[in-house]
Structure 1
Amino acid sequence: MRSFRRSARTRPLVAALRAGCLLLPATLVLEAQAQAPTRLDQIQVTGTRIKRADIEAQVPVQTLTRADIDRSGLTSVGDVIQQITASGSALNTRFNSSGNFGFPPDGSGVGAGATTVDLRHLGSKRVLVLVDGVRWVNEASASGVGAATDLNTIPLAIVDRIEVLEDGASSLYGSDAIAGVVNIITRRDMEGAQVTVNYGEFGKGDGAQKSIDLGWGGRSDRATWFVGASYVDQREIGAGTRAQSRYPVPGLSPEDAVAVGGSSGTPTGRFMFVDPNTGITHDITPNTGASDPTYLPGQDCARTDDYHCFGGADRFNFSPYNLLLTPSERKGVFGQFRFDVSPTTTWYAKALYNRRESANQAAPEPIFLGPEAGTGNPQADNIFISGANPYNPFGFDLDSATNLIMIGRRPVEGGPRRYAQKVDTWYLGTGLEGSFEVGDRGWFWDVNLAYSENSAEQVNTGSYNIRHIANALGDPAACAAIAGCVPLDIFGGPGTITPEMLAYIQPIVRDASENTLALASANVSGDLFATWAGAVGFAAGVEHRRYEGWYRPDPLTVAGDYNGVPSLPTSGKYDVNEVFAEFNVPLLAEGSGWGKALDLSLAGRYSDYSTFGGEFTPKYGLRWQLADEFLLRSTFAKGFRAPSIGELFGSDSRFDATLIDPCSLGPNGEPAPGDAANCAALGVPAGYAQTNPQISITTGGNPGLEPERADSFSAGFVWSPTFIEESGLAERFDIEVTFYRHEIEGAIQAIDAQTQLDLCVATLDAAFCDGITRAPTGGINGFGNRLTNLGVIKTDGWDVDLFWTLPETRAGRFGVTWRNTFVGRYEAVGADGSLQPRQVGIEVNDSAIPEWSSNLTLDWRLGAFSAAWTMRHTSDLVEGCGNAAAFPACSDPATGTNRLGSTTYHDLQLGYRLDVARGLDLTVGGLNVFGKEPPLCLSCSLNGYDASTYDIPGGGYWYVRADMRF
């Protein structure tokens, strides 16, 4: 918790920090050695580079202490940060990001197995992550070059505390610090050893998580050291184990859920073609004991053979194959050593190695063939199936150029798609730091070198080689001349694809990626001179960084032979040189009649990038302490974010989006909502019905991108009313209120694909229609959606926090922490002026911006006993119902919207301390102890809920922990 007053209750904290030996570069306390000058008691917090003898700050910094981390019951740095109220939607292990998630436009890959942080709903790539004040390397997803930091590369066991600056800070830290800064402070002040063992599982007895953390540290007259090791094993949970995630659309009957949201790529197969002998259009599937009379106009459905017309009842339920919680095994070791070279100079060295092994899983990969398949792969879209194929039951060729419309077949014989990742993270850092005096003023300096590398490998099993599929479906004589080729049976239903067929068409796909960061920095801080109002604080520094990243897909993918999501290699590098300066200028002193103090903060950084040139970012702040109990503060900052390697150099790749074509009939034959004349102009015939809503979107980088530029403003107050403390109602009572506003111009993104399609049909404007192509049948067979500097993102809101520590009584000591974030506005406007779908209170694209997020914690301590009760609240949301608008699960069918009700989770923790060795802490706890289910999400891609906002369905999570020091 924070306090701004140097009162009797803050002086012990300052003294503890002075004596705590927390000397870490750029953001930590300078150690006060016995033989060193007393100036070494200055400290520095995130949000300023100036070291000071107090902890007052002009910007709000939320500190998660080790006690806060332990109270959460979580085993991941990312999961801990994602629970703060300012956090937005970000990846975590509840996201089964594989299969058709594909490649996002920024070239970063799917981030499978990663956990990232989003502040103010501005995206993970706009949050700067530091470790001990030094930048951390970006993620390697094995499927792209990431622009965000994977927090699963940092073992939670080595963390002392986490400081979250919820304000723009490019002037202090450079690019990426638009939405805020997360500074992870590692542990080093330990004498002795510590062992922590955790075990937990979910209420249904699955998803077991176990971990063990080891730590050992010590000191001598001139040296200190800390070594830590961590092991975490999180087991997977299948989507089929929960009712909410068992079917494609939650809240519907199984039959309706499959009919509305199921896939047309089925184990029995869907065959759409024109019979060259009769001219009749067929959309058929083999009989399996059920028949559905639904058919398109012009079809012959009065059949007497082994087929019937394809309908909703024939669609495939892919949901049970997915994962509700992905497996993640993490092993990490960390060590740091510090040595006093002289009474005023210290040398340090740090090293970290972390390995993450994780996996994602999707249903057996479908094979879509023909012009209506919409795969974006020419070998699939332009397929030729020979009439001589021994398994072709129709006796004539099926040719995309003449009579084939689409074939969808899902070979369940090949098993589910499995994506297994191995991610290795290395970090090496060293430097010198110390102090000197100029007259009676103390100065502090540090120089730092660091190298970090994140490399990943991904092995994909269960996918297919489309070139081999084409060979096996073509002329049998040509197939016989190819080594290993055997004719393929995609017509016969489950079990007809033999092991020999699979051996030819099913490869093992291996992808790899890497991100590296090398940096060197030097900083100095001190008091320039004294004025009548106090000393002018100063900090300055220089920094050089070099980024390099690459992504190497499997040669099969590069050749265009991969049946799944195609992509091409990416590689790039750039470097940046920076210089910054910061001043803290006292304007008023105590006794002036205008309060206790008034300080002006000025900061600026100039960055010179090899990719686009120079950028200057200033920041201004005012801190006005009117009285011991009342503080006003405000900041204004310019910020920027440089385009990442993937955004600049990313090659063409693809992701699959579920799109509703405005030119298509509805699922029950409703008229197409799009303008009929415009649809005809786009080549869509009357009566067209979309066969496959899963459309492949081609994306790629843009070397002409400019940096994103941002304005950030914050203003607020901190009030600690003494009358409450003096009345005996509190030992501490603080209220903090902060208004924030961010505006980003030239945001790097691609226009929302559904918005682009809707605008194309509505306007026929080339700005939206260029890149969207259609087959002669009317279906979309190409969709270009590239990165650009789009319009503006604006957001604002309020943080309202309360901290209340009650006086100790015979019943123990009680404390209340209540943090709230209210989002007043969020809007993203494209360069054309079109409003993007993300807004406050809206659930869209598996992410949400709640109007109100709140965490309320009540903790209690009495002797060896302790307890904590936490309530996590998310206000209600609204989503579009999509194709489920006609069903009761859609709460407002008139508007086609569904309400996701407000949700409150309750967490409980109980602890007891035993006097064994240097202390044995036993803890038992639960997250979501009442088993609150997440609201049903009809529009979410997988598992029927928003995995970035809510806990998984199916009950709470329970854990036990033992922590022993000796």
Structure 2
Amino acid sequence: MRSKQHPFFALRGLCFGAAVLASDVGAAEPERTDERELPTVQVTGSSIPRIEAEGPVPVEVITETEIRRTGAATINELLRSLPVVDFNDAGELSPDSPSGSGTARIRMRGLTENDVLVLLNGRRLPRNALADASGAADAVDVNMIPLAAIERVEIFKGGASAIYGADALAGVVNFITRSDYQGVAARTGGGISAAGDGAEYQLGLTAGIGDLARDRYNLTVILDGYKRDPIYRRDRSSSASADFRARGGGDERSVFAPEGNLLDADFAFTGQTVRPCPAERTSDGLCRYDFNADILTAYNGARRGSLTLLGEARLAPQLQASGELVYSQTRNHFENHPTPDIFAAADGSVYAGRFMQGGPRITERESELVQLGGGLQGGWGDLAQALRWDVHYSYGRSTVSNRESNVFDSETFYPAVLDGSLDPTRADNDPALVDSLRISPERRARYSLNSIDAKLTGLLGEWGERRVDFAVGAQYLGERLSDQPDPLSQAGRVVGSVQQAAVDAGRDAFALFAELDAQLAPSLEAQLAARYDRYPDESRTSPKLALLYRPLDALALRGSYARSFRAPGLKQLYGGQEQGAITIEDPAWCAAQGVTACEVPAYQVVGANADLKAETGSTLSLGATWQVWRDLSIGLDWWQLRKKDAIGTKSLEQALADGDWQQDGGFYYVDQRNRNVAATRVEGIDLDLRFAWRLPGAWSLSLRDALTRYLQLEEQLTADSPWGDRLGTYATPRWRNVLGATLGREAWAITAALRTTGGFSDSDAYLPHLADTPQVGAFEELDLNLDYHPRDGFSFSAGVRNLLDRTPPFSNQNASGASYTQMGFAEIYSNRGRFFYLRAEYAFQ
């Protein structure tokens, strides 16, 4: 089998690969003396500090060196280098999503961004303040986390509600900031695409004073600024036009053309236009408007700045205080095309048009993140026998404002069109009249999270080589959400925009948890944990059991089972309801109601539902790590995830069949609000091959192949509907792989990374597809990085991402689907192309 079909066999090509995630080679392991003298570490996925980082459940750690060698400038770009992440970049590609544009969120294990818990130094971060009632975008926006402040990233690959509570069905991603820094370091950097656009600029400063061990305190300050210029669709051949016929697709240019496509009484196109249409914009008898050829971006611009303050103080030999403040701000400028709509003119004609004189619709988005926290840690006894306590308070706040311009009030705009004073097909209407119709709606949202954690850990008992460590604790979480669209938006009066609902809600949750880590035998370790969470309307108990068995010094076997849950988001519960006009054409329903002409006008009720309950899930995993010999190790984990009571919506036919409708005053109302109706089952493997080799002349070579391979991904939309196979459908590849090598000597390292994503069927419908359904092939990008990191204070890295300037494979599903970006490729890629970067840092001694 060729490597393009299965990356495991691509090891023969490792000379072209990359160790994006490979560990440093040649570092001497410190000699161990008394275990009681060794420092303990806090590992994501456990409340108990450990002497060894490896435990019963796999945790992937990406170090600061590894982050630097990816060439990533942002957290979002770093995610591309991690096969375990189901990368989707729609927030950075699309300029017209009110809640999603400019954001980046983490997905894992085939589930949504709502199912991944994102932490900063082990503490919860506030969710993005703007979210849809469906739950979309109701997750942490990782674009608000400054990469410059991150020392390492820890990824826990499994359900973790027994440790952290809600939201950890698919896994946990913990961003760990720098600590105990001394000195001053200035850094700068930049990059640009081979096409000369999409330029990036970075500037930052890190300063720290005090040595915690010597001075008993440390204060670290990190400043970071980042700016990125946009890339326009017109400047890439793959997205320069929405007419994809030359690439095997269709002509997807909009029928909402400035010249106006006339409609008949049944709202069908007549093939005629209000004003003459240029021949080059006419196809299939309709006038077209090419939305890709002008102002839309292929990659959004961004301006971001952040301030991070980290402090620690040793108040007594067994008493330590810590505090942190993270403030980050992002500003985005988005432009979308002038308003399209169905217009009714003074002469009685009706047409699909676009009011070009109104100018591009503009959104100015501002986002802020504040994360403030502090705590005390203390204890008694030595490091191995200590009884330790930890109390911590944190406050997180996410605020977002979207201010629009060049949009119009329907209650003044439509009458002006109807009485003939405004002609949307012309560009010479009275400017004063046009300006009088403009409005500037603004949407403001704020989400805050207060948390108080108290934890006690220590040694429960010790019998020879056997010991049992424990952790017990409690937690309080207080959530508040205020999402206030402009009154005109709430009333549905913005031309060409959807009606938006307001929400002002909050809730408090309390939890108790306990964990045991038992060394049952010299070669057998067990982890047992349970957590009780109480929310206003329900309570949940989440258990976890994990085992680690070492039959040989070089072989470790592990297995775990955990149950997890996700509480509904505040917007899903209290975000309001909306109604839209529909036509019921279900023969079975019509027959049951005695309706002969089965075209019944009705209203569809969608949106929040205060009766929602928590989604629940379970994770089972089995794995092994084998140190084949000193320079070669193999890790393999099989995992299975089940999720039920997932929040979704019934189809119109299902809602009618289930009786979710009523008649009031002669009108029919169909209830399609959020419900706990869906289910998911996922299965896959993670493979990790590592090889480290010392070469003559103090050179070293490290190789790694990291693979996440899905075996099953099925969904059930309702409890009564059949299971649908989603694995291998649009933007859902069967595998992701990073293959690589790092060649290093002293302060120098050359890293290459071959990032490969498997192919998929070019349809978002459940499998099986028709035999003639097109396939989207696998996609590969090769990155190179040169890293110079001496000890004299100066360091730099330079490299190329997508060295071969690969263009994503064409997807007609993306091109033809109005719910996608319509750039002709899946949102798991970008068409930025080859990108050069250079970064430097100088630490003042």
Instruction: Note if contact 2:187-2:841 (Cα within 8 Å) is conserved in structure 1.
Output: yes
Question: In structure 1, what is the Cα distance between the partners aligned to 2:31 and 2:645?
Answer: 44
Q: Would you say the 8 A contact 2:376–2:390 is kept in 1?
A: yes
Match of 1:739 in 2: 638
Counterpart-to-counterpart distance in 2, 1:771 and 1:186: 54
In the alignment, the residues of structure 2 paired with residue 682 and residue 421 of structure 1 have an alpha-carbon distance, to the nearest angstrom, of 51
SS of match in other structure, 2:762: strand
2:64 paired residue number? 66
CA apart distance, 1:503:
1.1
Partner in structure 2 of residue 886 of structure 1? none
Residue 600 of structure 1 is aligned with which of 507, 526, 531? 526
Q: 1:234/1:655 Cα in 2 relative to 1: closer, same or farther (>3 Å)?
A: farther
Residues 1:170 and 1:640: Cα distance change in structure 2 (over 3 Å):
same
How far did residue 817 of structure 1 move? Answer: 1.8
Query: Do 2:79 and 2:87's aligned partners in 1 also have CA atoms closer than 8 Å?
Result: no
> Which aligned pairs between 1:93-108 and structure 2 lie closer than 5 A?
93-98=91-96, 101=97
TM-superposed CA distance for 1:52, in Å, is 1.9
| Alignment partner, residue 286 of structure 1 | 274
Work out whether 1:582 is the aligned partner of 2:571: no
In structure 2, C-alpha distance between the alignment counterparts of 1:10 and 1:635, rounded to whole Å: 32
Q: Measure, in 1, the Cα distance between the counterparts of 2:46 and 2:580.
A: 41
Q: 1:431 aligns with which of 369, 375, 379?
A: 375
Give the AA of the match of 1:740: W
Task: Please give the per-residue CA displacement for 1:22-67, whole angstroms capped at 9, x wherever unaligned.
Answer: xxxxxxxxxxxxxxxx678222211111112222211111111111
Classify 1:440/1:619 alpha carbon distance in 2 versus 1 (closer, same or farther; 3 Å): closer
CA displacement at 1:748 relative to structure 2? 1.1
CA deviations 1:471-495 (Å, max 9, x no partner) are 313458xxxxxxxxxx2213xx241
Residue of structure 1 equivalent to 2:717: 830
What is the alpha-carbon distance in structure 1 between the residues aligned to residue 90 and residue 361 of structure 2? Answer: 20
What is the Cα deviation at residue 583 of structure 1?
0.5
User: Residues 303-322 of structure 1: matches in 2 within 5 Å?
Assistant: 311-320=284-293, 321-322=295-296
Picking from 819, 840, 843, the partner of 1:962 is: 840
| 2:802 counterpart residue number | 928
- Whether contact under 8 Å (1:716, 1:736) holds in the other structure is yes
Q: Could you tell me how far 1:644 is from its partner in structure 2?
A: 0.8
Q: Secondary structure at the match of 2:238?
A: helix
What does residue 484 of structure 1 align with? none
Q: Distance in 1 between matches of 2:516 and 2:243?
A: 56
C-alpha contact 1:425 1:455 (8 A) present in aligned 2: yes
How big is the shift at 1:470?
A: 2.6
Aligned to 1:12: 30
Displacement after TM superposition at 1:68 (Å): 1.4
Task: Please name the residue that 1:869 is paired with.
Answer: 752
Determine the C-alpha separation between the residues in 2 that align with 1:943 and 1:357: 25
Q: 1:936 and 1:551 mapped to 2: Cα distance?
A: 38
Q: Which moved more, 1:532-541 or 1:852-861?
A: 532-541
State the alpha-carbon separation in 2 of the partners of residues 280 and 821 from structure 1: 48
TM-superposed CA distance for 1:81, in Å, is 2.4
How do 1:841-860 and structure 2 match up within 5 A?
A: 841-843=728-730, 848-860=731-743
* Conserved? CA contact 2:130–2:483, under 8 Å: no
Task: Report what 2:356 is aligned to.
Answer: 412
Do the aligned residues in 2 keep the contact of 1:114 with 1:151 (CA within 8 Å)?
yes
For residues 644-701 of structure 1, the C-alpha deviation after alignment (integer angstroms, 9 at most, x for no partner) is 1111111235999xx9x9999xxxxxxxxx99999x989678xxxxxxxxxx987411
**Post-superposition shift, 1:169?**
0.4
Structure 1 residues 852 and 309, CA, compared in 2 at 3 Å: closer, same or farther? closer
> Residues 309-708 of structure 1: matches in 2 within 5 Å?
311-320=284-293, 321-369=295-343, 392=346, 394=347, 397=348, 407-437=351-381, 441-474=385-418, 487-490=421-424, 493-563=425-495, 564-589=497-522, 597-610=523-536, 612-652=537-577, 699-708=606-615
Asked if the contact 1:938/1:944 (under 8 Å) is kept, the reply is: no
What CA distance in whole angstroms lies between the structure 2 residues aligned with 1:861 and 1:268? 62
- SS state of the match for residue 94, structure 1? helix
Q: Any conservation in 2 of the 1:225–1:337 contact (CA below 8 Å)?
A: yes
Q: Using the aligned pairs only, state the percent identity.
A: 23
In the alignment, the residues of structure 1 paired with residue 778 and residue 481 of structure 2 have an alpha-carbon distance, to the nearest angstrom, of 42
Please tell me the residue identity of whatever aligns with 1:931. Answer: D
* Pairing of 1:183-262 with structure 2 (within 5 A): 183-220=174-211, 221-248=215-242, 250-252=244-246, 257-258=250-251, 261-262=252-253
Structure 2 CA distance for aligned equivalents of residues 444 and 899 of structure 1? 57
What RMSD in Å do the two structures reach over aligned CA positions?
3.8
Give 1:764 deviation, angstroms.
9.9
Partner of 2:255: 264
Deviation of 1:218 after TM superposition, in Å, equals 2.6
* TM-score of the superposed pair, with normalisation by structure 2: 0.87
Q: Give the aligned partner of residue 133 of structure 1.
A: 122
Q: Distance in 1 between matches of 2:236 and 2:218?
A: 50
C-alpha distance 504-521 of structure 1, shift in aligned 2 (>3 A): same
Contact 2:342–2:351 under 8 Å retained in 1: yes
> 1:348, 1:637 → 2: CA distance?
32
Structure number with higher strand proportion = 2
Shift of residue 92, structure 1, vs aligned partner: 5.3
The question of whether the paired residues in 2 share the 8 Å contact of 1:97 and 1:110 is answered with no
Larger RCO, structure (CA 8 Å, separation 6 or more) = 2
Which position in structure 2 is the counterpart of 1:481? none
**Equivalent residues in 2 for 1:52-201 (5 A)?**
52-91=50-89, 93-98=91-96, 101=97, 110-141=99-130, 147-201=138-192
* Compared CA separation, residues 274 and 638, structure 1 to 2 (3 A): closer
Residue 361 of structure 1: how far off its partner (Å): 2.9
Residues 47 and 365 of structure 1, relative CA distance in 2, 3 Å threshold:
same
One-letter code of the match for 2:427?
Answer: G
- What does residue 43 of structure 1 align with? 41
Give the deviation of 1:920 after TM superposition. Answer: 1.5
Please give the alpha-carbon distance, in whole angstroms, between the structure 2 residues aligned to 1:769 and 1:614. Answer: 27
1:216/1:579 CA distance change after superposition, 3 Å:
same
2:787 to 905, 908, 911: 911
Aligned length: 804
Shift of the 498–49 alpha-carbon distance from structure 1 to 2, 3 Å rule, reads same
Assess, with a 3 A threshold, how the Cα gap between structure 1 residues 683 and 842 changes in structure 2: closer, same or farther.
farther
The 3 A distance-change label for structure 1 pair 929 and 811 is farther
Contact 1:143 1:553 in 2 (8 A): no
Tell whether the 8 Å contact from 1:699 to 1:786 is kept in structure 2 after alignment.
Answer: yes
Deviation for aligned residue 1:291: 7.6
Length-normalised TM-score, structure 1:
0.77
Partner-residue secondary structure (3-state), 2:180? coil
2: distance between equivalents of 1:249 and 1:895? 25
Q: Deviations over 1:84-134 (max 9, x none)?
A: 111114445532151xx5xxxxxxx62221111111121111000111111
- Confirm or deny: 8 A CA contact 1:602 1:619 kept in the other structure: yes
Q: Structure 1's 368 and 120: CA in aligned 2 closer, same or farther, altered over 3 A?
A: same
